[in-house]
Amino acid sequence: ISKIVFPETEESQTMGNVKLEVKSNYTNLIDAISHGASDGFKISMNVIAMLIGFIALIACVDWILLKGGHLFSANLDLSLNYIFGKIFYPMAWSMGVPAEDIQNAATLLGQKLTINEFVAFSNLTGKTVPIVTEKGLLIVSVAICGFANFSSVGMQIGGIGEIAPSRRTDLAKLGLKALLCGTLASYLSATLVGILM
C-alpha cells in the first residue's frame, strides 16, 4: 500500500553498494547509556504530552459539537463518534461486518482513527460499543489493531523529531500519508477476515 501511495520513481539509495560509516558520538559506554536514557526520557515525555493533547482536543471538539447540536434540536447529540459512525459505515459494510453490527463497528473505526486503538478496544471489550456477532467481533478486532491514528502521527513527529530535528518537516509531510497507509493496511486485513469467515 505504501508503494502505491508513495511510489519509488528513482533508484533506491540502498540498492546495490551501500557504504555505511558509523561514527560514535559518545566517549564510552557510560556516556552512551546516559545519552540514551536522556533521549528516551525526552521521547516518553513527548509521547505522553501528545496523547494528553490529542485526547483533550477530541474532548473539546466533542463538547463543541454537542452544544452546537443542541442549538438545532434538544435531541441532537452530535459527537465525533456519531459523525465518524456515519462516515465509516460504508467501510464497515465493505469489510463484511454483519448488518446488526455495522453502526457500532463504524463508531469503533472512527474512535480508533481520531483517538487511538486503546480507547476503541476498551469500548469494544467493555461493551460500551457492543458488537453482537462473532464475525463482526473478529473483523472489528483486526480493523482497529494498528497504530494508524492522529495521535500516533503527532507522537511520531514529536518523538522522531526530537531525535532528528532536521527531518521534522519530512515527518510532518509524510505523516498523513503514513496514516492513510496504516489505516488501509488494517482494513485490508480485516476484509480478508471477513472473506474467510
Question: Is residue 40 a contact partner of residue 159, using CB atoms and an 8 Å limit?
Answer: no
Question: Is residue 144 a contact partner of residue 112, using CB atoms and an 8 Å limit?
Answer: yes
Question: Is residue 53 a contact partner of residue 34, using CB atoms and an 8 Å limit?
Answer: no
- The reported pLDDT for the residue numbered 42 is 86
* Residue in the block written with cell 460500551: 128
- The reported pLDDT for the residue numbered 81 is 79
Q: What is the chain's pLDDT, residue by residue, as a tens digit (197 residues)?
A: 988 888 888 877 767 676 777 777 888 889 999 988 998 898 888 888 888 888 899 899 999 999 998 888 888 888 887 888 899 999 999 999 999 999 999 999 998 998 889 889 999 998 888 899 999 999 999 999 998 998 888 888 888 887 888 888 888 888 889 999 999 999 999 999 999 98
Question: Is residue 197 a contact partner of residue 96, using CB atoms and an 8 Å limit?
Answer: yes
User: How far, in Å, CA of 117 to CA of 107, rounded?
Assistant: 12
Question: Is residue 143 a contact partner of residue 190, using CB atoms and an 8 Å limit?
Answer: yes
- The reported pLDDT for the residue numbered 22 is 74
Instruction: Give DSSP secondary structure letters for 33-92.
Output: HHHHHHHHHHHHHHHHHHHHHHHHHHHHHHHHHHHHHHHH-TT----HHHHHHHHTHHHH
Residues 6 or more apart whose CB falls under 8 angstroms from that of 62 comprise 79, 80, 81
